[in-house]
Amino acid sequence: MKFKWILSGNLDASAKRACIDLEYKLRPRITKFLLSKFDGDCCADFSCFHFDVDMDNQWIWISNKTPAEHIKKISADFDAEINGRELFSVA
């Protein structure tokens, strides 16, 4: 899976560290979510999934770079399962 980090301003050392810390929290959570939705009927390593992470607004979106059939399958439950203020406590 790939993340696109959306930040206003410069990516200083503090912001970069916050992105790294958040990615370590997001990867297992999203992987677990994807495993619950797909039974081997998508890319095996989830490399076809792309996410936009808005650090300023503290929100994660499924990028339109993700195949449409996968977006359709996960979009209904994604916000409830993945988004949450506790994810952004490192920022």
At residue 85, the pLDDT reads 55
Kindly indicate the confidence band of residue 4, based on its pLDDT and cuts at 50, 70 and 90: very high
At residue 89, the pLDDT reads 59
Say what angle helices 13-37 and 68-82 make with each other, to 10 degrees: 110
Query: pLDDT tens-digit profile of 48-90?
Result: 999 999 988 889 999 999 999 999 999 999 998 898 656 665 4
Sheet holding 2-6, edge to edge: 2-6, 50-54, 59-62
Q: Where are the domains of the chain?
A: 2-90
Mean pLDDT for all residues in the chain: 87
What's the average model confidence in pLDDT over 29-51?
87
User: How many CB atoms lie under 10 A from the CB of residue 68?
Assistant: 8
At residue 91, the pLDDT reads 43
